[in-house]
Amino acid sequence: MGAAVGRPDEANAVFHNPAGLSLGAGVRVYASFGLAMIDASFQLQQWDQSDRFITEQPDADGYYPVVEPTRAMAVIPMLAVTAELIPDKLWGALSMYVPNATGARFGATSTTRYHLIDGYTIAPVAQLSVAYQPSPIVAIGAGFGMMNLRLKGKRDVFPIIDGTDATQLLGTNARLDLEGSAWAPTWNAGVLVAPIKGLTIGAAVTGRVDAEIEGPITLTYGTDAPDPGGKLEAKQITSQLLPWAFSAGANYDVHPNVEIGSEFRYWLYRQYDNQRTDIKGAFLIRELNTKKDYHDSWQLSGGVRVHGLQTLPGLEMMLGAHTDKTPAPTKSLTLDSPTFSHYGLHSGVRYTVGRTRLSLTYLHYWYDVPVITDSITSPPSNVRGNGSNNIVSSSIEVTFR
């Protein structure tokens, strides 16, 4: 439906707006799983001396042949248990979910090998949430948890470094492997108001996360290096920021069988200026600095829900749409963590039978992949391309009163 913040009536309120726990009675056990399958293709533009190492021939515009990832996907699982601790007053929830688990892989000999061969980011969260309703029209909620950030990346090192030819030391296909993990506290809070019959208004905030991801970094010399296959191993510490996020939404019953809703989400990505990796124990390099220069990001979405039909009283049908603005300027966008503006269509059904509520959803995103000509990354990430995303998810929620 694209309008969860203003009326989060499932246990996934722990993520969207914890005040929404007040909309569920008794004890609820909730489980969901989603799979995002990304379809994308890119063409890299030639850069200085790339023709020395990339054998594919560019077209008349200077672009190498189309490359598609051999794997590009994300998983979105959640498990939550909620309980009404004091009738109509206090609710609690314990949840485990993964708001971000994405990965991609390109061919080891493709034109993108100097940008990304294989990589993933996973950030599971364990959270304790509470909601309190001081009056029949107001509820407040908050959640506190721990996030375990994990990342891994693999790519070849382009042997022209800051204009210096390093092939005599590294070879033409030196491999860089980086991985790490970190624990970081997380929190969110929300409010839900029902000022008049049929109208609910919600707002929520998610706190900023600053993490120092530590782990090994390994440089394996190329097969044509003086020491082919030799390894240089060190420790890396990478700073990672997840920004403040704010959301607000409203849902209104325009008819006993029809609900409409909309919401607005805003992320303070302006804080993400630079990503720094400190390297300890390597004589070749002491740090990696990646200029990000992100700006704030936002999403506007909304939709409609039809429910309570006489012929199918347990069935709910939903449609929605959204538009989303990327935080990444084209000059600092990288293929190991691409983010593009996009818009999408949402659809879903829920069905309640007895104490069990089942759901199935399908979302389709269209990515607005720009033609990048001003890349400042090393090597440059000047690309053109296109992409889409198909997200399928299902859930089951069982209530014990």
Q: DSSP character for 332? A: G
Is it the case that residue 280 has pLDDT exceeding 90? no
Q: What is the DSSP string of 266-287?
A: EE-GGG--EEEEEEES-SS-SE
Average pLDDT over residues 217-245: 90
Which of the four pLDDT bands, split at 50, 70 and 90, describes residue 284? low
Residue 148's DSSP bridge partners are 183
Helical (H) or strand (E) element with 15 = helix 13-16
Is it the case that residue 46 has pLDDT exceeding 90? yes
Is it the case that residue 266 has pLDDT exceeding 90? yes
Collapsing DSSP states into helix, strand and coil, what is residue 52? helix
- Residue 8 covered by a domain: no
Q: Which candidate, 397, 310, 302, places its Cα nearest to that of 350?
A: 397
pLDDT tens digits, 145-197: 999 999 999 999 999 887 888 898 888 999 999 999 999 999 999 999 999 99
Is it the case that residue 41 has pLDDT exceeding 70? yes
Is it the case that residue 288 has pLDDT exceeding 90? no
Report the CATH number at residue 162.
2.40.160.60
Q: What is the rounded distance in angstroms from the CA atom of residue 225 to the CA atom of residue 172?
A: 8
- Residue 367 covered by a domain: yes
Is it the case that residue 282 has pLDDT exceeding 70? no
Residue 263's DSSP bridge partners are 249, 301
Residue 271 has what pLDDT? 86
Share of the chain above pLDDT 70, in %: 99
- Residue 330 covered by a domain: yes
Share of the chain above pLDDT 90, in %: 78
Q: Find out whether 360 and 383 touch, Cβ atoms under 8 Å.
A: no
- Residue 1 covered by a domain: no
| Amino acid sitting at position 29 | V
Q: Which candidate, 316, 321, 318, places its Cα nearest to that of 397?
A: 316
- Residue 6 covered by a domain: no
Q: Does the CA dihedral 112-116-119-125 come out positive or negative? A: negative
Which of the four pLDDT bands, split at 50, 70 and 90, describes residue 283? low
The encoded tokens of residue 182 equal 């970190």
| Amino acid sitting at position 76 | I
Residue 179 has what pLDDT? 93
Q: What is the rounded distance in angstroms from the CA atom of residue 176 to the CA atom of residue 302?
A: 43
- Residue 78 covered by a domain: yes
Burial of 345 (0-12, 13-18, 19+ CB in 10 A): middle
Which of the four pLDDT bands, split at 50, 70 and 90, describes residue 286? confident
Distance of alpha carbon 215 from the chain centroid:
22
Average pLDDT over residues 1-16: 95
Averaged confidence pLDDT in the chain: 93
Collapsing DSSP states into helix, strand and coil, what is residue 20? helix
The 10 Å Cβ neighbour count of residue 97 is 20
- Residue 4 covered by a domain: no
Structural Rg of the chain based on CA atoms:
24
Count of structural domains, the chain: 1
Is it the case that residue 244 has pLDDT exceeding 90? yes
Which residues lie below 8 Å from residue 333, measured CB to CB, with a gap of 6+?
Answer: 339, 372, 375, 377, 381
| Amino acid sitting at position 338 | P
Which residues lie below 8 Å from residue 163, measured CB to CB, with a gap of 6+?
Answer: none
Mean pLDDT is lowest, of 169-183, 281-295, 377-391, for 281-295
- Domain region containing 121: 13-400
pLDDT tens digits, 342-352: 999 999 999 99
- Residue 3 covered by a domain: no
